[in-house]
Structure 1
Amino acid sequence: MSGQTKSATRGNRANRRPKRARRLDNEGIIPVLARAVREIESEAQRGRVSPSARTRFQVVALLVREERARVKADAEATEAQRAEQLKRLDGVATILAKTAARDTSLLMLLAEDAEVSDAARALRRKMIAQAGLEAPEEETPEAPEGEAPAVTERRVVPQTVLARQLANPFQAPDFDAVAKRIEPKTHRLANWELIGPLLRSFELANGAPACLEMPDPKLRRTRDGLEMMRHQAQLVASVQEGHRTFLLADEPGLGKTAQALLAAQAADAYPLLVVVPNVVKTNWAREAKMWTPRHKATVIHGDGNDIDGFADIVIVNYEVLDRHVGWIGDLGFKGMVVDEAHFIKNRKSQRSQHVLQLADRIRARHVRPLMMALTGTPLINDIEDFTSIWQFLGWIDEQKPMPELMARLEETGLTPEDKAFYPAARRAVVDMGIVRRRKVDVAADIPARRIADIPVELDDEAGRSIREAERELARRLVERYDRVIAARKPEHRAASLVDGIDEELVRRVAEWERDETDDNAAGENVFSMIRRIGTAKAPLAADYATQLARSVGKVVLFAKHVDVMDTCEEIFQRRGIRYASIRGNQTPKVREKNIDAFVNDPDVAVVVCSLTAAGVGLNLQVASNVVLAELSWTDAEQTQAIDRVHRIGQEEPVTAWRIIAAQTIDTRIAELIDSKAGLAARALDGSDEEVTASADIQVEAMVALLTNALRARGR
């Protein structure tokens, strides 16, 4: 029994031993949290919260969340004991809320996807130890986007891997390596910079879809008797004819996992390495057992002590890859699959460096390994998102095309000076292995989907507060803009104005605001504002989902922040709506239990999902209605969420109901998300739709806010 439960149990004996009860109330994690939150509150009352206090704030919030879940799930405690513990936790949470009201930048630390620093992890372990509890083992964190890999890494080698290496210490060399390597004779393009023109060729789509021409499949059944859809069988047939690199960019829900596993079987690319997000690695093992049952799959958890070192398919998640890159690089993999490949779009990040390093080591041992990058959303913000994926596949390095692609470009007889170079170059890259199929093109049994916006009016105190916060943010942006204008020499002040506004400066001011660190930011910011809007919308979103559940059946509700999910779940409970919950802090067992409850229990009407934790790897096609309680920052994330429902097996039209706060920045963000959808459409689907600028939506939202404020002032 844990320290907290002991405290609660003994607390019930207060009528018999009052003096003991008071001392034992100081046992467990709750007193530790109470002391810490009082210190944070005291500092906030004196002024700006220091960085160390911000770390304590986040750790206390995380531990309160974990302890609340533990108390609710404690089957040994009585109802009275659970109520007492939850009451004490509510007291800590109330102080957290009051502190956040004094410094709203603290709200960002409560987000489901908020970054947890090494200092926060260390403090969390320390506080748990102070409570006399044992801290659970944690996975090694991913380095922040844009930072180089950590210098020191904890590397492990599972015992079963050592056994495999000892059983087969020598790997058969590839004697055909020299003969098979392509060394093109470079003439016209020797001194050209080609990466930029190649990317540009995808912006100039000219109406041509980006999809490799593949043979008609002769067989539609796997060797184990399972039926493949035609588009899946086409890719397998292409592998059988010798193709070995694929950017498989099929729309979400078209069975990319099955295609990758069957491709590996067709190429005999074993052992096969599969790198995936943490939330889908269990699903990959399940799919492997179904589609390729003759080849055992093993999943690496933590240090990998329980893996099968002799398995044909090794599945590892990005978060622990750094521990295993050493032995993985030496095992002799003949194929590698990277799922949700847009995760490696930043080549400077730790996970990208590890993935690219492993890909290079595999190619060094095998001339034509099977290399597959899977993603339904290969472009998030920029056309440059392609480059790290192309590098993983071996099509380019950091500076130039690799030999096979260079040979294809030389065969065109063109250079970037020629207008015809761009469609020819695009075709050359596509023929390297880009495969993009849309549901409307290949799966007639998957009905069309639609997104319906539900504007809501925030006319209560929260709505008025949000609109005032927007005005305050706009005032701060205008003041910064005016300071820069005033600092210019008089003769230069009007030189760059368009209709009285310096548009370049407007964008720079927005970028400064976004890049400013939390410790230096003053007042409201765009992130805390969006969080407040989400909190204000939560009751309305939950009410709408309740109406849908009662009229049309099961509903999937997505939210970004934990407090929004909490609010929605409380409303469902009051309305008598049974629900399941999918969150990032759940164990795989709890997550699977909640998914099964929603899918299989007819009385569970709603599943409340975290946008970041449940946006990939789930099959929820038992529902046909999705409620987006909060907006994402990208169209890709929104699409991934909707496609948990709109996928193979769906028998009804799918509608995503997007809850948008009218007369707030929420409306502008929805417009920006929709405009970003044109980027992937133009680059991959051959759409003529105009591509918007690739700046972050956060920046674009503040550009609109500042521009509107300047125009209103000029009237």
Structure 2
Amino acid sequence: MPTTAPARQRKKSSSARRDDEAPIIPILARKVREIEAKAQRNKLGPTNRVKFQVIAFLVREERARVKADDALSDAARAELLKRLDGVATILAKTAARDTSLIQLLEADHATSPVARRMRRDWLLESGAELPPEELVITDEKPALPATVVAPVVSERAVTPPQIEARREANPFLAPDLSRVPAGPTPRRRLDGWELMGPLYKAFELGAGGGAATMPLPPVPEFDRLSPKGLEIMPHQSRFLEAVRAGHREFLLADEPGLGKTAESVLAASVAEAYPLVVVVPNVVKMNWAREVERWTPQRRATVINGDGQDVDAFADVFIVNYEILDRHIGWLATLGLRGMVVDEAHFIKNLSSQRSQNVLALSQSIRESTPGGKPLLLALTGTPLINDVEDFDAIWRFLGWTNGEKPGPELMEKLDATGLTPADKAFYPEAREAVISMGIVRRRKKDVAADLPDKLIADLPVQLDDEFGRSIRAAERELGERLAARYRRIIEARGERGLEAGEIDDDIVRLVAQGELDESKAAGTSGDNVFAMVRRIGQAKALLAADYAAQLQRSVGKVVFFAKHIDVMDQAEAHFAAAGIKAVSVRGEQTGAVRQAAIDAFNNDPEVGIAVCSLTAAGVGVNMQVSSNVVLAELSWTAAEQTQAIDRVHRIGQDEPVTAWRIIAAHTIDTKIAELIDRKQGLAGRALDGEAFDETSSDSVQLAALMHLLRQALGDD
């Protein structure tokens, strides 16, 4: 066992001497606080799970060393063991929050090369002298590739009858003669570094500034792609020229409304990436089929519904929604797909979801079966970051840039070429640029669509003066007092711990709020919690919001009305009907044909004045730029969802300035939620657009709202 004692001893203060006696402990204390903060925000990604494991190992090693060190006095030994117990206590609390971490505490749990490197780096940072065999850590021999599709195919898996006909018509896929078994990977200077954390940090800091867009070719002299009667915009042409030049993996993160669907359809044509599978939210399947027909009329698209009985097995483009992909992933993987598009790619950010696993499994299968291993892979999302930069994780995995634990070979080569390590400040802007050059394309409306009118978000406070409104404010106070009571019990149980009179412990505030949030998520909108409260606020605002939308429609024409809950939509529709205003509804439970018919009626029928839309069902992939006014009757929990909703009308083709009217219940938590949503806009601005924003908390809006209620009850907000 390597010693963690320092090589040189100096006379210092008592606290400094204790650090000299066990210099690894301050490092462990700092690292465990980072893990704790991530766990409280439900952001324990792969990198932090490895950190958790390494901390546990080193606490165990250091405790054994301290106990066996005869040179330590009893008092010093007791002090060091107490500090180690403090680290262990935080580990235990974190594992209690996420029970999947418990297995990482087992003494015989196998460690990965990443974990061993992390342990080595921390020990070297502490000044430890390590034996030569612990300084060089090699990767484990990779296992032979196995099919990744079979494990995630559900019991609902189907094979449509026509698929057998396609297989019989072309029983042999073109052999892949381009791959030669790779020899040993040469050792790189960065092989010993943990790199995923620094890569996320590079974007979190907006290191280097500037928009996150890879270098793109100039606009071609002629538009050789658009069918007769259509024309692509210059920013779209530049993206397609990059595809023509041979680039095949993109995170296309243009702001909503800049024509990502058309770009993707044409990119498949340029790359000859057929057969192509497109995975989309259910609400936009029909729109995707239309766009394929519109921009590439020589290609056939088929929409997969249910068990796929009506699928056109000989189509060029297969369009399937996330919810039924598990039924069809098996036969899709056998078609010899040459490309894959994932629309609204932020939907796969939760790696533990079956949705994400299906998408990643199919993309890996396509990558392994495509000649040359370079299929066209497009992740489309105008809002890739919801709460945290680690939302990039699943998208980067889909594109093959990382595997979650470390960068892929191509990205590693780019990082190694910088000549820098994460210990150098200059590494972070260089690392950000390296990832961007892999294929991130991010353009903003104000930069590429100068003729697109302005967008304004206007808040309309409303007073909830009736009995319903008073009960909501009373419920808020009761929730705040309940949280405050929990906080005080914890403070009393642990003692003063150096708090000044009236001082509030932010860690305990966060702990109490997180506990309440976890309970609220389990209960949903039943019971007395923040979700039920926000729903009641929406119900209380419904008629006020609907009345404003009706007045607006009479004065400006067509209006898009967004709500989160069905009962709010129902109240609004009844109000519009009573007011003699013809309205259509776009909801999640509708079939694709019914939903598209409603959208078409709103866009084309002059008699239809209002579209009543679900924030979740109609917030993506829907074109309603015939209107320039949006009413947000209820607030979303994310800035991204609000942005997506507004950009249903603020997109290419819009001729008038767009105004989004947010109906906000004054003197309630609604006001705080609106403020928190606005703050969240800074994350994407800093990470993707290189803009200078103050640090934005990675807390979710729900958690931050509960912390606000608690501080308010404690008299500090």
TM-score, with structure 1 as normaliser? 0.76
Within 5 Å, which residues of 2 pair with 1:299-698? 299-366=303-370, 367-488=373-494, 490=495, 493-495=496-498, 499-516=502-519, 518=522, 524-698=528-702
- C-alpha distance 150-335 of structure 1, shift in aligned 2 (>3 A): closer
Would the aligned equivalents of 1:198 and 1:425 in 2 still touch at CA under 8 Å? yes
- The whole-number CA distance in structure 2 between the counterparts of 1:449 and 1:575 is 29
- The whole-number CA distance in structure 2 between the counterparts of 1:438 and 1:521 is 37
Report the CA distance between 1:221 and its aligned residue: 4.1
Say which SS state the counterpart of residue 379 (structure 1) adopts.
coil
- The whole-number CA distance in structure 1 between the counterparts of 2:586 and 2:696 is 33
- The whole-number CA distance in structure 1 between the counterparts of 2:626 and 2:184 is 52
- The whole-number CA distance in structure 2 between the counterparts of 1:572 and 1:340 is 31
- The whole-number CA distance in structure 2 between the counterparts of 1:208 and 1:636 is 21
Within 5 Å, which residues of 2 pair with 1:30-45? none
- C-alpha distance 674-520 of structure 1, shift in aligned 2 (>3 A): closer
Q: List structure 1 segments (4+ residues) > 3 angstroms apart after TM superposition.
A: 149-152, 181-186, 496-499, 517-523
Which residue does the alignment assign to 1:270? 274
Report the CA distance between 1:523 and its aligned residue: 5.1
Whichever residue aligns with residue 161 of structure 2, its letter is: Q
Would the aligned equivalents of 2:286 and 2:596 in 1 still touch at CA under 8 Å? no
- The whole-number CA distance in structure 2 between the counterparts of 1:368 and 1:204 is 31
1:389-425 alpha-carbon deviations (Å, 9 max, x no partner):
0000010012111111111111111111111111111
Would the aligned equivalents of 2:346 and 2:381 in 1 still touch at CA under 8 Å? yes
Which residue does the alignment assign to 1:280? 284
Would the aligned equivalents of 1:336 and 1:372 in 2 still touch at CA under 8 Å? yes
- The whole-number CA distance in structure 1 between the counterparts of 2:365 and 2:185 is 22
Report the CA distance between 1:182 and its aligned residue: 10
Report the CA distance between 1:327 and its aligned residue: 1.1
Within 5 Å, which residues of 2 pair with 1:206-245? 206-218=208-220, 219-222=222-225, 224-225=227-228, 226-245=230-249
Matched, 1:204 2:208: no
Would the aligned equivalents of 2:214 and 2:440 in 1 still touch at CA under 8 Å? yes
- The whole-number CA distance in structure 1 between the counterparts of 2:454 and 2:391 is 28
- The whole-number CA distance in structure 2 between the counterparts of 1:461 and 1:533 is 12
Report the CA distance between 1:445 and its aligned residue: 2.2
Matched, 1:153 2:159: no
Report the CA distance between 1:261 and its aligned residue: 0.9
Structure 2, gaps ≥5 residues long:
1-150
Whichever residue aligns with residue 671 of structure 2, its letter is: T
- C-alpha distance 150-663 of structure 1, shift in aligned 2 (>3 A): farther
Whichever residue aligns with residue 387 of structure 2, its letter is: N
- The whole-number CA distance in structure 2 between the counterparts of 1:324 and 1:575 is 46
Whichever residue aligns with residue 213 of structure 1, its letter is: P
Report the CA distance between 1:178 and its aligned residue: 2.4
- Residue of structure 1 aligned with 2:706, choices 698, 702, 708: 702
1:187-243 alpha-carbon deviations (Å, 9 max, x no partner):
210111111111111112242210011111323241533311001111110111111
- The whole-number CA distance in structure 2 between the counterparts of 1:222 and 1:183 is 42
Which residue does the alignment assign to 1:296? 300
Q: CA RMSD in A?
A: 1.9
- The whole-number CA distance in structure 2 between the counterparts of 1:592 and 1:661 is 32
1:468-504 alpha-carbon deviations (Å, 9 max, x no partner):
010111111111112212222x3xx243569521111
- C-alpha distance 182-384 of structure 1, shift in aligned 2 (>3 A): farther
- The whole-number CA distance in structure 2 between the counterparts of 1:214 and 1:523 is 53
Would the aligned equivalents of 2:282 and 2:592 in 1 still touch at CA under 8 Å? no
Higher mean displacement: 493-502 or 418-427: 493-502
- The whole-number CA distance in structure 1 between the counterparts of 2:525 and 2:382 is 36
- The whole-number CA distance in structure 1 between the counterparts of 2:601 and 2:297 is 27
Which residue does the alignment assign to 2:192? 191
- The whole-number CA distance in structure 1 between the counterparts of 2:216 and 2:704 is 40
- The whole-number CA distance in structure 2 between the counterparts of 1:498 and 1:383 is 37
Would the aligned equivalents of 2:226 and 2:232 in 1 still touch at CA under 8 Å? no
- The whole-number CA distance in structure 2 between the counterparts of 1:516 and 1:353 is 27
- The whole-number CA distance in structure 2 between the counterparts of 1:597 and 1:188 is 61
1:520-559 alpha-carbon deviations (Å, 9 max, x no partner):
9995210010011011111111111111111111111100
- C-alpha distance 507-172 of structure 1, shift in aligned 2 (>3 A): same
Whichever residue aligns with residue 557 of structure 1, its letter is: F
Whichever residue aligns with residue 379 of structure 1, its letter is: L
Within 5 Å, which residues of 2 pair with 1:74-93? none
Say which SS state the counterpart of residue 189 (structure 1) adopts.
helix
- C-alpha distance 499-192 of structure 1, shift in aligned 2 (>3 A): farther
Higher mean displacement: 202-211 or 675-684: 202-211
- The whole-number CA distance in structure 1 between the counterparts of 2:271 and 2:374 is 10
- The whole-number CA distance in structure 1 between the counterparts of 2:705 and 2:589 is 30
Report the CA distance between 1:171 and its aligned residue: 1.2
Within 5 Å, which residues of 2 pair with 1:175-190? 175-178=177-180, 185-190=186-191
- The whole-number CA distance in structure 1 between the counterparts of 2:465 and 2:179 is 70
Report the CA distance between 1:671 and its aligned residue: 0.5
Higher mean displacement: 657-666 or 599-608: 599-608
- The whole-number CA distance in structure 1 between the counterparts of 2:432 and 2:267 is 24
- The whole-number CA distance in structure 1 between the counterparts of 2:523 and 2:255 is 40
- C-alpha distance 211-519 of structure 1, shift in aligned 2 (>3 A): closer
TM-score, with structure 2 as normaliser? 0.76
Which residue does the alignment assign to 1:133? none
Whichever residue aligns with residue 442 of structure 2, its letter is: R
Say which SS state the counterpart of residue 605 (structure 1) adopts.
strand
1:607-664 alpha-carbon deviations (Å, 9 max, x no partner):
1111111111211111100000000000100001001100111000000000001100
Would the aligned equivalents of 1:220 and 1:230 in 2 still touch at CA under 8 Å? no
Say which SS state the counterpart of residue 501 (structure 1) adopts.
coil
Would the aligned equivalents of 2:625 and 2:651 in 1 still touch at CA under 8 Å? yes
Would the aligned equivalents of 1:186 and 1:410 in 2 still touch at CA under 8 Å? no
Structure 1, gaps ≥5 residues long:
1-148
Report the CA distance between 1:593 and its aligned residue: 2.4
Would the aligned equivalents of 2:475 and 2:533 in 1 still touch at CA under 8 Å? yes
Within 5 Å, which residues of 2 pair with 1:39-54? none
- The whole-number CA distance in structure 2 between the counterparts of 1:163 and 1:447 is 50
